[in-house]
Amino acid sequence: MATRSEERLGTSLQALRAVVGNGSIRRTLLAFFLFNAQEYAVWIAVIVYAFAQGGVKAAGAILVAQLVPAALVAPFTAMIGDRMRRDRALSIGYAIQTTSNLVLALALWKAPAIVAYAAAVLSNCAITFTRPVHNSLLPQLADTPRELAAANAVTGMMDGLGGFVGPIVTSVILVIAGSAAVVAVMAGFAATAALITFDLKLHAGAAAEVEAGSLVSDAMAGFRELRAEPSAAFLVGIDGIQYFLFGLLDVFYALLAIEILAVGSSGTGVLAASFGVGGLVGAGIAVGLAGRARLAIPMAAALVVCGATLGAIAVAGGFPAAVVLLVFCGAGRSVFDVAIRTLLQRSVRDEVLARVFGVGEALQMIGLAIGAAAAPILVAAFGGRGAVAVSGVLLIVLAIIAFPMLIGVDARAKVPGAELAILRAIPIFAPLPEHIAEQLSWNLIPLQVAAGSVLIRQGDEGDRFYILSSGDVDVTTDGRSVARLGPGGYFGEIALLRDVPRTASVVALTDCRLLTLERDMFLGAITGSVRSLETAHAEIDRRLDDQQDQ
Determine the pLDDT at residue 105. Answer: 92
Residue 470 sits at φ, ψ, to 5 deg, of: -155, 155
Determine the pLDDT at residue 421. Answer: 79
Contact 138, 153 (CB under 8 A): no
Task: Give dist(CA 519, CA 67) in Å, integer.
Answer: 41
Determine the pLDDT at residue 370. Answer: 83
Residue 152 sits at φ, ψ, to 5 deg, of: -65, -45
Contact 282, 332 (CB under 8 A): yes
As a whole number, mean pLDDT of residues 392-412 equals 81
Task: Give dist(CA 459, CA 280) in Å, integer.
Answer: 59
Structure confidence by residue, pLDDT tens digits, 109-139? 888 888 988 898 898 888 888 888 888 888 7
Structure confidence by residue, pLDDT tens digits, 348-358? 766 677 777 77
Determine the pLDDT at residue 13. Answer: 52
Structure confidence by residue, pLDDT tens digits, 227-238? 777 777 888 888
Q: What 3-state DSSP class applies to 484?
A: strand
**Alpha-carbon separation of residue 541 from 425, 462, 474, 486, 500 (angstroms):** 20, 18, 19, 21, 14
pLDDT higher than 80, residue 408: no
Pick the closest to residue 452 from 509, 490, 504, 514 (CA basis): 509
Task: Give dist(CA 85, CA 95) in Å, integer.
Answer: 16
Task: Give dist(CA 180, CA 202) in Å, integer.
Answer: 37
Query: In terms of residues, how long is the chain?
Result: 550
Task: Give dist(CA 131, CA 242) in Å, integer.
Answer: 17
Strand partners, 449: 512
Task: Give dist(CA 398, CA 411) in Å, integer.
Answer: 20
Pick the closest to residue 37 from 151, 150, 210, 168 (CA basis): 168
Task: Give dist(CA 507, CA 450) in Å, integer.
Answer: 10
Where do the CATH 2.60.120.10 domains begin and end in the chain? 418-549
Structure confidence by residue, pLDDT tens digits, 173-214? 888 888 889 999 999 999 999 999 988 877 644 544 445 555
DSSP state of 413: P
**H or E element: which one contains 517?**
strand 512-518
- CATH code at 11-203+214-412: 1.20.1250.20
Task: Give dist(CA 302, CA 282) in Å, integer.
Answer: 9
- What's this model's pTM, rounded to 2 decimal places? 0.62
Q: How many CB atoms sit inside 10 A of residue 210's CB?
A: 12
Pick the closest to residue 90 from 226, 186, 194 (CA basis): 194
Instruction: Identify the burial level of 106 via C-beta atoms within 10 angstroms of its C-beta, where 0-12 means exposed, 13-18 middle and 19 or more buried.
Output: middle
**Alpha-carbon separation of residue 161 from 166, 403, 448 (angstroms):** 8, 29, 52
What type of residue is 270? V
Q: What 3-state DSSP class applies to 508?
A: strand
As a whole number, mean pLDDT of residues 464-490 equals 90
As a whole number, mean pLDDT of residues 486-514 equals 90
Residue 405 sits at φ, ψ, to 5 deg, of: -70, -35
Structure confidence by residue, pLDDT tens digits, 295-334? 778 888 888 988 898 888 888 768 888 888 888 888 888 8
Where do the CATH 1.20.1250.20 domains begin and end in the chain? 11-203+214-412
Contact 122, 102 (CB under 8 A): no
Structure confidence by residue, pLDDT tens digits, 361-371? 788 878 877 88
Contact 139, 350 (CB under 8 A): yes
- Of the pLDDT bands very low, low, confident and very high (cuts 50, 70, 90), residue 8 is very low
Higher pLDDT, 84 or 435: 84
As a whole number, mean pLDDT of residues 504-519 equals 91
Higher pLDDT, 419 or 3: 419
Q: What 3-state DSSP class applies to 485?
A: strand
Contact 282, 335 (CB under 8 A): yes
**H or E element: which one contains 483?**
strand 480-485
Calculate the CA dihedral of residues 199, 201, 206, 210 and round it to 10 degrees: 10
What order of strands is seen across the sheet that includes strand 445-449? 445-449, 512-518, 464-470, 490-491
Calculate the CA dihedral of residues 380, 386, 388, 390 and round it to 10 degrees: -100
Is 2.60.120.10 the CATH number for 418-549?
Answer: yes
Pick the closest to residue 348 from 441, 522, 232 (CA basis): 232
Total H helices, total E strands in the chain? 19, 8
pLDDT higher than 80, residue 402: yes
Contact 124, 65 (CB under 8 A): no
Determine the pLDDT at residue 185. Answer: 93
Q: What 3-state DSSP class applies to 506?
A: strand
Contacts for 207 with CB less than 8 Å, ≥ 6 apart:
85
Task: Give dist(CA 48, CA 259) in Å, integer.
Answer: 13
Cα 345 off chain centre by: 6
Task: Give dist(CA 202, CA 193) in Å, integer.
Answer: 18
SS3 readout for 424-482:
HCCCCCCCCCHHHHHHHHHCCEEEEECCCCEEECCCCCCCEEEEEEECCEEEEECCEEE
Pick the closest to residue 92 from 213, 195, 222 (CA basis): 195
Determine the pLDDT at residue 3. Answer: 45
